Amino acid sequence: MAETIPAAGATTEGAIQVGQPRDARVSAPASYDVADFPVPNGREEEWRFTPLERLRGLHDGTAVATGGGVKVEVSAPAGVIVETVGRDDARVGKAGKPVDRVAAQAYSAFEKAGVVSIPKDAVLSEPVRISVHGQGGVAFGHQVVEVGAFAEAVVVIDHTGDATVAANVEYLIGDGAKLTVVSIQDWDDTAVHAAQHTALIGRDATFKSVVVTFGGDVVRLHPRVLYGAPGGEAELYGLYFTDEGQHQEHRLFIDHDTPHCRSNVAYKGALQGRDAHAVWIGDVLIRAEAEGTDTYELNRNLVLTDGARVDSVPNLEIETGEIVGAGHASATGRFEDEQLFYLMARGIPADEARRLVVRGFFAELIQQIGVADLQERLLEKIDAELEASVV
């Protein structure tokens, strides 16, 4: 039995596949060693949308760490343990292996890993803040966030400045724990940032990820979710605002390999300007053993001007019929002239009306996140971004 259900949208492709090879999007097996991956040439499934020539050598071994390429600062409420450890630390690499050449390059090249541990049962009243500030150099990074059983934490990772960075971020989420991570890519428009985010979700644990990408010349993020035990829940939210000349790529993979886990994905992007390029890949695999899975993924794009391009590829592979639900939606639309007219007919000038519509488009997603003061801050960020850009 094979069925293919194409998704709607002009620059959108997608399918629900049954019984397809699970590694269809990966050209080499996962490995910690960069030498196990051939240098990509751009024809591989996982590289075909990426402008390799703009990766500044992160993909072919020519990028060399400059030392002090980025400055990392961590501030955490009392009780949280913040460490810098060697690569032999047992927690490093525990969530999963790098799955592409750049992630493996980062893994092979980093010197010290940052580890933030939230002890068992701790409920943090303040977020942990990790600031990654680019200082113009090349850096390979590794960060682990470990949340003990039944602990609850919010971690905010802010990326600013200019740098060429490849990194791995691991989230180890203990049984019954709740982790919310906000990763903001607010880079200068010259930065190059490629990272794999791997979350390993414990029994009945909850992982909420909010990825916000505004800046960078090239940003290529690869959030991955694995379930270590039944009852886990992942909510992955994302928003991006892709301006003229920017390439912003978000490639998600959720591996439902464990029964009775849930995942919900919602990513929204707005694009404007010539050669603004957004790529969204949503791979969800429901393995034969993952009965009782409930998953939904959505990607929406709003194209504000001519010359911008979106590639949106949801992909759901289902190997068991014993599931609660599985679905996806992907749509890419042009700016709604009727909305603009309605607002302008109430005296609101065109540029302000456009900002309101785009803000509303993102606000719809932000309203779903369900962490009140976070929502406020994200809306402020959106406002600032919209204020700064022409639209």
Partner 1 sequence: MATLEIHDLHVSVEAENGPREILRGVDLTVKQGETHAIMGPNGSGKSTLAYSLAGHPKYTVTGGTVTLDGEDVLAMSVDERARAGVFLAMQYPVEVPGVSVSNFLRTSATAIRGEAPKLRTWVKEVKEAMERLHMDPSFAERNVNEGFSGGEKKRHEILQLELLKPKIAILDETDSGLDVDALRIVSEGVNRVRESGEVGTLLITHYTRILRYIKPDHVHVFAAGRIAESGGPELADKLEAEGYEAYVKGGASA
Rounded to a whole number of angstroms, the minimum distance from the CB of residue 302 to partner 1 is: 11
Residues 6+ apart with CB under 8 A from 355: 386, 387, 391
Nearest CB to partner 1, comparing residues 323 and 379: 379
Give the nearest distance from C-beta 337 to partner 1 in angstroms.
7
Comparing C-alpha atoms, which of 185, 182, 236 is closest to residue 206? Answer: 236
Q: Which of residues 319-358 bind partner 1 (CB under 8 A)?
A: 337-339, 341-350, 352-353, 356-357
Alpha carbons 164 and 70: distance in angstroms, whole number: 9
Q: Per DSSP, what are the bridge partners of residue 144?
A: 115, 170
What contacts 306, CB < 8 A, 6 or more positions away? none
Q: How far is the CB of 46 from partner 1 (least distance, A)?
A: 33
Least Cβ distance, residue 32 to partner 1 (angstroms): 42
| Closest to partner 1 by CB, 66 or 375 | 375
- How far is the C-alpha of 74 from the C-alpha of 310, rounded, in Å? 35
Using rule CB under 8 A, residue 305 touches partner 1: no
Angle at the Cα of 247 (from 246 to 248), degrees rounded to 5?
A: 115
| Helices 372-388, 350-369: crossing angle, 10 deg rounding | 150
By C-beta, is 289 or 336 nearer to partner 1?
A: 336
Tokens of 148: 């003990």
**Residue bearing tokens 């020539």:** 53
Which residue lies nearer to partner 1 by CB, 26 or 348?
A: 348
Specify the residue, 30 or 379, whose C-beta has the smaller distance to partner 1.
379
- Burial class, 386, CB count within 10 angstroms (exposed 0-12 / middle 13-18 / buried 19+): buried
Nearer to partner 1, 100 or 385 (CB): 385
Residue closer to partner 1 by CB (options 285, 366) is 366
**Count of residues that interact with partner 1, criterion CB under 8 A:** 24
In whole angstroms, the minimum distance from the beta carbon of 368 to partner 1 comes to: 11
> Three-state SS for 129?
strand
- Smallest CA-to-CA distance from 27 within 78, 124, 99, 76 is with 99
Residue whose token pair is 């590694």:
23
Q: How far is the CB of 362 from partner 1 (least distance, A)?
A: 7
Q: Binding mask 355-384 vs partner 1 (x if CB under 8 A, - otherwise)?
A: -xx-xxxxxx--x-----------------
CB 219 within 8 A of CB 213: yes
Nearer to partner 1, 93 or 269 (CB): 269
Kind of pairing between the strands at 128-147 and 113-118:
parallel
> How many distinct helices (H) and strands (E) make up the chain?
4, 17
Question: In the bound complex, what is the minimum distance in angstroms from residue 246's beta carbon to partner 1?
Answer: 23
Smallest gap from residue 197 Cβ to partner 1 (A): 26
Q: Which residues contact partner 1 by CB under 8 A?
A: 337-339, 341-350, 352-353, 356-357, 359-364, 367
